[in-house]
Structure 1
C-alpha cells in the first residue's frame, strides 16, 4: 500500500471529504437562496418602478391625450438614467422617446417583456438588455416604458462566478485540510502502532506518545499508558512472586524431605519417631497450603474478583467483635488489647473479607508489636490499640502497637508479597498478611497506609462510608456467617 493510498484510506480523510461535501451543499443552497432572493427583489423593484411611471404617463394621457403624452415622454427621455421610453405611430415611426428602433417582436408584444437593444457607446454602439411594458394606444399607436437591466445581468453573472470560485476555494481548502489532518493523525497512529509493536515484542516499558494537546488521542494514550503501567506492575509482581515462591517454599519443602528421610533411616517399628515425623510433616503441609490459599486470595482480589457478598454493615461492631476474639491471644503474649470505637459506621463491604483484613492487622500487631526491651510504650503496659472512626467519606480502621515498628523506607515494600523484615523472621508467617489487607482495601475502593506510632507502628485501613445506609439485622453480629482466620 502506497503512502498516498494509505492516506486516502484514513478515517480522518474520509470524514474531511464528508464534511466538505456537506459544507459545499450547504454553501450552494445558501448562495442560491441569496441569488434567488436578490433576483426577486430586483425584479420587484423594477416592476414597481415601471408601474409607477406607467401610472404617471396614464394620468398625462388622460389629461392631454396623445400630445400631452408625447411632451411628457420627450421630457423624461432627456433625463439621464436607465429609463427607456418610446411613443410611435402605427407605422413604427418614433414620435418621442430615447429608443431609436425596436424589433418586430417587441412591436408586436403586449405587456411585460425582456428585449435587447443598442445604444451609443465609446467606439460605436453596445448591445444591452432591457425590461419593458408595451401598451397599444388607440389608432395603432404604441407606448413602451422600460428600464435598462444590463447591470442586473452583470450582477447575476458576478454572483454565479463568485459561487463557482467560492466552491473551488472551499474544495481546495477542504481537500488540503483533509490531507493535512490525515497526515497529522496518521503520524500519531503510526507512532502508537510502533509502540504497540514494541510492547507485543516483550518491552513492557514502552508508552504511547502524548503531545500535550489534551485532545481525545492524548486522553486515550494517557488511559492506555495507565493500563500499561498497571500491566507492567502486575507482570513485575508476578515475576517477583514466582521468585519468592521458589525461594520461600524451597526451605519448607526441603525440611519435609529431610524429615521423611530421617524417619526412613530409623529402625523398623520405631512408632513414636514415625508419628512425630508425620505430625511435623502435616504441620509443614498445612503451612504450605495456607500460603498457597493466601496467594490465591490475593490474586483473586487484585483481579477484581471476590467481594460478591457485599452488604451494609457496621464496621465499628465488626472491629469490636474481631478484637474480642483476639483478646485471649493478646493476653498470652502479655499485651493489653484496647478497642476504641465511636458511633456506628455503615459501609457496604464483604463482611468476610473485611473481617479477614482486620484480623490480619490485629494478628500482626500481636505477633510483632511487643515493645523492645526497656521500652514500655505508653509508660504503663505493652498494648495493641484498635479503633474505628469516620473521617469524611471514609471509615478508618487503625491498629497500633508499641513494637519496633517499620522503617519509613520499608513501609511500601512490606505491602508486597513474601516480604518479611529481619525482626519478624523469628515469628511464623509467610509475609502475605499485609498484601492481603492491601488487596481487600483496593477491592473496596479504599487504601492501606503505615504510619509511625512513636514508638511502634500504626496501620490504617480505609474503606468508603455508605451514605444513609441502614444496618440490617445480620450486621449487628459481626461474626455471623464469617470465618475469620489470620494469614
Structure 2
C-alpha cells in the first residue's frame, strides 16, 4: 500500500501512538497511585489498632486490652475494623472473629485474606487486610481493616480507566488525522503552485500563512526562485522575439532578392542554384517560425486564445487538405474519430502540430496514415499513426529534442522540430505527448484535457 510509505501518514501514526502512549502512562500512574494510597491507608488503620491495643496490654494487662478491643468494635458502627485477642491458653478474650483464621501466622506484617466476622448476618466472606502480633506470654492479637469497598472502588477505577483509554483512541485518531490534514493542506498549496507553474502559469505563487514557520520559509524560497525563473523566461522571450524579428527581415529580403534574380536569369545552372538557395531560405524561415513557436508554447503563451475545437472535424479537414499530396505519394490517410470530442485549444497552433506530424508521417512512414481520436476519462487522445519503420524505443527521447535528426532521416529535408513542437504544444495544453510502437510504424499520441464547457466548437 502506498500510504505505508507516506511520510504524512507515518507522521500521523506517530502522533496517534504518542498520544495513546501518553494516555496509558498517565492513567497507569493514576491507577498505581490510587491503589497504593488505598492499600497504604488500610494498612495504617490496622497497624494503628495493633499499636493502641498492644500499648494497653503492656500498660494494664490482658483484661484491659480486651476491654479496649470491645470498645473499638463498639465505636465502629460501619464495621470496617477487624480485631481478635486470644489469650495464652488459646481462649478467645475479645474480638469480632470467631476464631484465629487458619493459615495466619503469629507475626504477619500485612496480608489480605477473605474472612467472615462473627455476629454478621448473613455471614459472608469479606476481603480484609490484617496484621498479627504475639506477645511474650503467648497472647496473640490480630487487627485489620475491611478492604472490600476499597477493592470495589479499585475495580470501578480500572473500568473508568479502560473507558478513558477507549475514548482516547478515537480522539487520538482524530487528532492524528487533523495533524496530517493540516500538513497535507500546507503541502498541497506548494504542489498546486508547482503544478500550475509546470503547465505555464508563471505568475502563480505560494500563499503564505504569516506564521513564519518552516512551511512559510519554504514558500518564500520557492516564490523567490519562481520570481527569478520568471525574470529569466521574460528575458529569454525578449531575446527570442528580438532575434526572430531581426532574422526574419534580412531573410525575407534575401528571399525577395533571390526570387527576383531567379525571374531575371536565363542561365539554367544559375536558375538551379537560385532555386536551391530559395528552398534553403524557406527552410530557414520555417525553422525560425517553428523554434519561436516552441519557445512561446513552452512559456505558456497562447492560452488566452484557447477556444473549443471539434477534434474529429479538424482531423477530417487535414485529411482533405493532405489528400491530394498523399495520393501522389501513394499514401492513404484514414480518419477514425467519433464526433463530439472537444478540447480547448489554440486552433492555429494545434493545427500546426497536426500538420507537422502528418508531414513526418508522409516523409518517414509507409503507405498508410491513420488520424484517430477518442475519449479517455477527462482527456481526449489524438494520434497520428503510420506503418513505416518507426523509431526505436531507446531513441524516442532523443527524437523529441530540438533539431534532432535521426540517422535514417538525415538525407530528407527538414528542421528536426516537428516532434519538439508537438511536445511543447502538448505542454501548453496541460497534456502530454508519447511516442509508441504501431507494430509496424510510429504512433504519436497527444493526450489533452477534454473541454467540458458548452461553448460552440470550431472545426
TM-score of the aligned structures, taking structure 1 as reference length: 0.43
TM-score of the aligned structures, taking structure 2 as reference length: 0.46
